Structure 1
Amino acid sequence: MDAFSQQRFGVRLEWGLSAVEGLASEADCIVIIDVISFSTCVSLAVDKGARIYPWPWKDDSARQYAMKIGAQAASPDRRFSGEGYSLSPVSIQNIREGESLVLPSPNGSAISFRARETGKPVFTGCLRNMTATANACRRFDRILLIPCGERWPDGSLRPAVEDYAAAGGIIAAMGRQDYSPEAQAAVAVWQYYQAQNLQPLGECASALELQQRGFDADTVLCLQVDTAKQACRLKGEFYASAVA
């Protein structure tokens, strides 16, 4: 795997769950990026002083796990009306300080769950906490950024440009120069969209999917830049403020 490890560079980038398997052992910290919508939900909750417990399975096991730890379980179906929370960022906006929420997600949660097993510091980043995430990671020498992407119906990885752009924005905010070609390409993507005020990201596949399902307000929240001041770090089983 040496050819794929990017070990000559301090800042590295690779996609999805396989990045944890192949590159995490040689990283000092891991940044998981799932803009639409896991990482945005975590950021919103952490800003409110809540805890988010990632859970990789969207089935009744999330409810059982929540009962075991004395938390609430988010609905596996996206919604922002009715009671409770879901993977909709709008549903997370009014979460209360001190609440604990189990958040099922097949991408951000699943990769967080696996990254936790490495014993490395794990962060989750998005557009809204881009600079805060960069600041929290700056002290680490070897940083692995993992844009999660989405899934095709057959389960294969669908690279998601919003995750790639956010990864590039985090890298750019670090102000370092020792990034791999893979990381450098993400910075170029970020700079391209930044020059257009991120307008094209409102028409990317993930955003259009939400809009077609009536979740336009989620898209707006997910594409906000640097509206959060907290970096989100995995502390044992839950995400909380990196400085708490």
Structure 2
Amino acid sequence: MTIPGHDQSSYRLRLEWGPTGADAVRADYAVVVDVLSFTTTLSVAVERGIEVFPFRWRDARAAEHAMRHAATLAVGRFEALSRGDARHVSLSPASLAEVEGVERLVLPSPNGSSIAFALADAGSSVVGACLRNAAAVARWLAPRVADGASVVVVPAGERWYDDTLRPAAEDLWGAGAVLDALLHGLGVDAAASPEARLAIAAWRAADLPGDLLDCAGGRELSGAGFVADVEIAGQHDVSEVVPVLVGESFRDAATLPPDGPRLRRVGA
């Protein structure tokens, strides 16, 4: 639902938080950022040639969705840990770096995956970004923005215990890394909203990888034994993959036809 004054429509580069923000601030391209860990895990999976199907978190239909697509269903990292079986594929990017024999993966998550699933359901053109592929995503978007397309970057955030949104520093940094690469690294001539410029300022102020390990999300995962996931998430611009949601699954933009997925212009 678009709220007057909140849609940032006078700017071609926009930013808004979480699923509600993604619904309120629309653009031709929506870039979902969930550094810890959906889009980081997504980047690792796509690097390995795995087709990734996003899905809502804790949705009983996930297993059926995986069966329909002949895909492996990923479990939550804590569930995989409790099972004590390394063969379980999970939301952990470290687990995806080790897995063998997986070609298609249903990857639910409470934040990034759920947002991507909802955006696709609404007909948006969705891209997955994290610190690992921020510059690659910016390079892919640059000619599209130069042709007049609008972009909203959606830092996914986390959830408090009452299920309200908790803005997450790592997602603001990831969003800022993409926008900074677009505006300053590539010199794209497009107006950025104050919200988008705030993300760039936050990214430029970050001291990585130390800040990622020391922010709330990094401390939580490190304390639970997932420090390797945080270290992978903190790798900046090490990946060239650009995960684009085509139909129900993410694929690397390099494997798509030159024109990519058909763009549905906002308001068209």
Q: Deviations over 1:177-222 (max 9, x none)?
A: 51000000000000111xx344222100000000111111111011
Match of 1:2 in 2: 4
Q: Does 1:237 align with 2:240?
A: no
In structure 1, C-alpha distance between the alignment counterparts of 2:209 and 2:94, rounded to whole Å: 20
Which one of the candidate residues 104, 109, 112 is aligned to 1:100? 104
Amino acid at match of 2:32: I
1:1-244 correspondence to structure 2 within 5 Å: 1-24=3-26, 27-78=27-78, 79=80, 82-96=86-100, 99-138=103-142, 139-140=144-145, 141-175=149-183, 176=188, 177-193=190-206, 196-244=207-255
| 8 Å contact kept, 2:111–2:156 | yes
- Write the deviation string for residues 159-183 of structure 1: whole angstroms up to 9, x where unpaired: 0000001100100101235100000
Q: Normalized against structure 2, the TM-score is what?
A: 0.85
5+ unaligned residues in a row in structure 2: which ranges?
A: 256-268
Instruction: Percent identity, please.
Output: 37
Q: Which deviates further from its counterpart, 81-90 or 178-187?
A: 81-90
**In structure 2, C-alpha distance between the alignment counterparts of 1:209 and 1:98, rounded to whole Å:** 28
Alignment size in residue pairs: 240
AA aligned opposite 2:200: V
By how many angstroms is 1:21 displaced? 1.7
Quote the Cα distance in structure 2 between the aligned partners of 1:98 and 1:136: 27
Calculate the aligned-residue CA RMSD, in Å: 1.6
Structure 1: segments with no counterpart, 5+ residues: none
Contact 2:31 2:128 in 1 (8 A): yes
107-116 or 176-185, which deviates more: 176-185
Distance in 1, matches of 2:25 and 2:121, equals 14
Secondary structure of the structure 1 residue equivalent to 2:31: strand
Post-superposition shift, 1:96? 4.7
**Greater displacement, 209-218 / 77-86:** 77-86
Alpha carbons of structure 1 residues 167 and 8: separation in structure 2 relative to 1, 3 Å: same
